[in-house]
Amino acid sequence: MGDTIMPIGKTETKAAQFADETNDAADVRMNPPPPRPNPRQEHRQRAHGGKQGVRKGFGLHDWMRLTRRAKDLAQRKGAPIRRDITVEEVKTHNKPHDGWMILRGKVYNVAPYLAYHPGGSEILERCLGKDASKLFDKYHQWVNIDGLIGTLLIGSLKGHEMPCLGEDDEDDESSDEGN
């Protein structure tokens, strides 16, 4: 071959060509380095807190469309929202096809939402049948639960009062006393 360098073919790398030229007897070939991840994709993942991508058709927009159109996502089968759900009952609903979760004293059937969760369904699956309020507030304190999964509400935890709008306002009581 000599000192001239031949054009590299589509399947050869410079390292492989160098190995061929320097060690023909041993026929040593080096594998090309593994492909580097796309820097833009790495930046996006870091910027979004390591969220995993969701499959096409399972984004937030798709979820919101489903919540507007679906009749019974919570699978209550026409039953009213309950106010007496026990922790023991929630514990029995711990499977992806039948997964309940407690968030801030309310019980949700999150099974229909698993595929839509931006962090992946695995995170939510670990919380099925449990009170995930502290974990939820750690990462999603700013999220409006009722706006996102309100259609999945089963009821409230027994012994936990669901506050009504204005219930915590002391101004209402003091304004009544002045009349």
**Model confidence over 68-99: pLDDT tens digits?**
999 999 999 989 999 899 999 999 999 999 99
Task: Tell me the average pLDDT across 121-149.
Answer: 94
69 & 33 share domain: no
Q: Which pLDDT band, with edges at 50, 70 and 90, does 159 fall under?
A: confident
132 in a structural domain: yes
150 & 62 share domain: yes
Neighbouring residues of 104: CB distance < 8 A, sequence distance ≥ 6:
133, 136, 137, 145
Owning domain of residue 41: 10-50
What pLDDT is stored for residue 158 in this prediction?
87
What pLDDT is stored for residue 41 in this prediction?
53
Q: Which pLDDT band, with edges at 50, 70 and 90, does 175 fall under?
A: very low
Q: Which pLDDT band, with edges at 50, 70 and 90, does 176 fall under?
A: very low
Percent of the chain with pLDDT over 70: 59
Question: How many structural domains comprise the chain?
Answer: 2
99 in a structural domain: yes
Q: What is the pLDDT of residues 4-16, one digit of tens each?
A: 555 555 555 555 5
66 & 83 share domain: yes
58 & 135 share domain: yes
Give me 55's structure tokens: 């499959």
What pLDDT is stored for residue 43 in this prediction?
41
92 & 140 share domain: yes
CATH number at residue 70: 3.10.120.10
What pLDDT is stored for residue 55 in this prediction?
82
CA distance 153 to 110: 9
Cβ distance 98 to 111 under 8 Å?
A: yes
DSSP letter (8 states) at residue 50? T
The secondary element (H helix, E strand) that includes residue 107 is strand 106-109
Cα angle 73, 79, 83 (rounded to 5 degrees) comes to 100
What pLDDT is stored for residue 112 in this prediction?
97
**Three-state secondary-structure class, residue 94:** strand
126 & 39 share domain: no
113 & 151 share domain: yes
88 & 140 share domain: yes
